[in-house]
Amino acid sequence: MDPEIAALATTAGSTLVGLMTTEAWQSARQGVVALWRRAVPERADGVDSSLEAAQEDLVAARGTGDEETVAELTADWQGRFRRLLVARPDLAAELRALLSLPEPGAAAPVTTTLTQTARARGNARVYQAGGNLTVREDGGRGPEQQ
């Protein structure tokens, strides 16, 4: 099997299960069902039902700390995606886009680490931010209120 297909299936399965407890779940679910409907129409309704059941199982498992069920659900969807991609490797780009996965060989996102240290003594003030910061020393009144 193509290692790229195996890696994509593994990542897609993990990502899909991760999305099951987010606001993006319904959109991801609809996209996966649509993908199956185009690839294997006769299985699309079954995939939809399986996704619904998997999401319910995941919510219950996370609620009780049942990591074994989480791992089983992840492995199940990794296997489903692997089988789909083996049969239809032309769907790889669409699956990546659907789950917002990077293209193979794409540069990793740049991360910035910011460390801030401050010491204030007496009546001194310290203002720190990792982005924009507005400090008003006028008691909260803007220029229009002075």
Element (H, E) at 115: none
**CA 83/CA 9 separation, integer angstroms:** 9
Q: Domains of the chain: which residue ranges?
A: 3-100
Contacts of 14 (CB under 8 A, 6+ apart): 74, 78
Over residues 113-133, the pLDDT tens digits come to 667 777 888 888 887 776 677
pLDDT exceeds cutoff 90 at 95? yes
Does this model's pTM top 0.85? My answer is no
Cα angle value 30/35/37 (rounded, 5°):
90
| CB 78, CB 9: distance < 8 Å | yes
Tokens of 49: 């039902």
